[in-house]
Amino acid sequence: METNTEKVKQERGVVHLVIKATGANFFYGNMKALFDNQEKEENDGTLGVSYNYMKNYDFSDGKTYENSICIIRKGIICTITKKEWMRNNRNSKRR
């Protein structure tokens, strides 16, 4: 039987960024990581929207933010716990 701690580890938030000009896809664990990373990019790092605006944006019901530069989505990525992965791959050998 799984505990509540194991269930929490199975779902994590994810922020998906699409740069329209290149079609490049980036995935981040939170909005702050997205903006911190984009500011370091070789291009000017401009997404056409501020971090403060996006951290308060309503992404409920699958809403997406879109402007002329990018598309930003928030969602959940489902994973299995390390314990469950080990149980399922106990007899497999990496090559």
Q: Per-residue pLDDT tens for 25-56?
A: 999 999 999 999 887 764 566 899 999 999 99
pLDDT on residue 88? 79
Give percent of the chain with pLDDT exceeding 70: 80
Q: Which residues contact 20 (CB under 8 A, 6 or more apart)?
A: 68, 69, 70, 71
Domain boundaries, the chain: 12-78
The C-alpha atoms of residue 82 and residue 73 are separated, in whole angstroms, by: 27
As a dihedral over the C-alpha atoms of residue 46, residue 51, residue 56, residue 59, rounded to 10 degrees, the angle is 50
Q: Write the DSSP symbol of residue 93.
A: -
